Structure 1
């Protein structure tokens, strides 16, 4: 049973790992911090996975756990993110390399997004992931109307940051 659980987890994580990489990129400034946050999110996902009931899609659940982990760690220490050791977890995940060169055109956007507050960052991330306002509201725990209003305000903020 444990091996089946582990297999389902690793399969789902490998399939949706870009979600975690994108969250890491928003909340970190260098590759080492990115790797540390990726590791910490993976650990938190693994710890929470036995409680995943499947009421929502795996990716929606993953967004929520990953964003909550990133926001919590970011708020605890804005200078660096402290992580747990992964030695206690026995599975191996095939990680796709996150190639920064292929994402040059996104650098300006990421720089602007990093200037937003934590919730606005999460909102932009989910919006860019083509999540519906209903899915965004469920993930962030706000109403759908509030998600739409906040997104319009964030778009205005980003325009003013990118075009001073």
Structure 2
């Protein structure tokens, strides 16, 4: 992967990738592996981008798909990673893992179903129902109902931890 491609096409969207990877991992090591795999898949798939959506939408969708695939592989214990390389930008941003309220939010999000995690992350990014539906691959009418149910589930999770 060229450093120019990384700097221009991945790094500006690193926050998206980080949020999604964090929602699907429980450890720093898994997070770093998922992040690396997402970046690699973006680079491998860049020629498949057909400009039918925004680049950021494509990044969201690809990141979600990679994380879901890795999660399934991990469940089946067939996961392999070829590199221990961690981008400097990622290593420098580890302070987010020290934020306890943020960790609690991610813990609650990880208790949701795999698809619901993606939906709530996109909702928190203030994506429209149409954008969420496009990324997830569902009907926009379904998204509003799904978000309401996710919020209720998260509230129950937080109420159970706090009280």
What CA distance in whole angstroms lies between the structure 2 residues aligned with 1:37 and 1:17?
Answer: 12
What CA distance in whole angstroms lies between the structure 2 residues aligned with 1:85 and 1:99?
Answer: 26
In structure 2, the partner of 1:95 is: 89
How far did residue 78 of structure 1 move? 3.2
In structure 2, the partner of 1:82 is: 79
RMSD: 2.4
Count residues in correspondence. Answer: 157
What CA distance in whole angstroms lies between the structure 2 residues aligned with 1:98 and 1:45?
Answer: 22
1:62 maps to which of 59, 64, 79: 59
How far did residue 9 of structure 1 move? 5.1
2:27 maps to which of 26, 30, 33: 30
1:53 aligns with 2:50: yes
1:114 aligns with 2:122: no
1:162 maps to which of 152, 158, 161: 158
How far did residue 162 of structure 1 move? 0.8
Conserved? CA contact 2:97–2:103, under 8 Å: no
What CA distance in whole angstroms lies between the structure 2 residues aligned with 1:31 and 1:37?
Answer: 10
What CA distance in whole angstroms lies between the structure 1 residues aligned with 2:28 and 2:76?
Answer: 15
Name the CA shift for 1:66/1:79 in 2 (closer, same or farther; >3 Å): same
What CA distance in whole angstroms lies between the structure 2 residues aligned with 1:49 and 1:116?
Answer: 30
Name the CA shift for 1:33/1:12 in 2 (closer, same or farther; >3 Å): same
State the TM-score, normalized to the length of structure 2: 0.85
How far did residue 73 of structure 1 move? 1.0
In structure 1, the partner of 2:144 is: 148
Deviations 1:40-90 (A, max 9, x none): 111111111011122211110000000000011102223878244259xxx
In structure 1, the partner of 2:123 is: 127
Conserved? CA contact 1:24–1:37, under 8 Å: yes
Aligned-partner SS, 2:147: helix
State the TM-score, normalized to the length of structure 1: 0.85
